[in-house]
Copies of this chain bind each other. A is one copy, B any other.
Amino acid sequence: MHRIGVLIFPGFELLDVFGPMEMFGLLPDKYELCMVAETPGPVASNQRLSAYAEHGLHDDDTYDILFVPGGAGTRKEIGNRPLLRWIAEVSAQAEYTLSVCTGSALLARAGLLDGRKAATNKSAFSWVEEQGPKVKWQRQARWVEDGPFITSSGVTAGMDMALGAIALMHGQDTARDVARWCEYTWQEDKTNDPFARMYGLV
């Protein structure tokens, strides 16, 4: 059983969180999902609807997987030192650290991605680059795996990444089962990223 710490903060992007959590959540014998926030309780997303965090952040938190979404709220959280320290400490203990969209800006600011390859949102690409000048940002990638860090491009890329992470941990067939259960046409090739061209990044 992998316990996933799912970080949310005001202005998180709805689907960054709930796309991947749908996928992991369809394997309840393999993944336990824990939603965490600085202030437990309802947390408003970038789309205004709120998710509910049952857990706060504590110094001794440990999760097998740390999950960090993006969203407009990251613009504020890149300056939140206690949060960045918590991310760094939990990531150091975790088997995997995952991010979606501009969530990788938070990982970069927490000092976790220096020298590593990482993906991020296309429309905010240059802003994210500034948050981690030593990161090897990938302009064309659906998602990127580098050691314990698995980072995806914008929003819906998180679903493809989550299935990729499931494949890594439990095999391709398990990931394909999950995709079929939720009637999802999984983009299995993490290098296939048509949006890089659409946004003029290649």
Instruction: Identify the A interface with B (CB < 8 A).
Output: 6, 13-15, 17-19, 21-22, 24-26, 28, 33, 35, 42, 45-52, 54, 121-123, 153-157, 159, 180-185, 187, 194-195, 198
A11 to nearest B CB, angstroms? 12
Instruction: Give bound CA distance, A52 to B184, whole Å.
Output: 26
Bound complex: CA of A49 vs CA of B184, how far in Å? 21
Complexed CA–CA distance, A18 and B47 (Å): 10
Closest to A193 in B: B183
A194 CA to B181 CA, complexed, in Å: 13
A25: B residues at CB distance < 8 A: 14, 45-49
Chain B residues within 8 Å of A51, by CB: 49-52
CA gap between A183 and B25 in the complex, in Å = 22
CA gap between A107 and B121 in the complex, in Å: 37
The minimal Cβ–Cβ distance linking A45 to chain B, given in whole angstroms, is 8
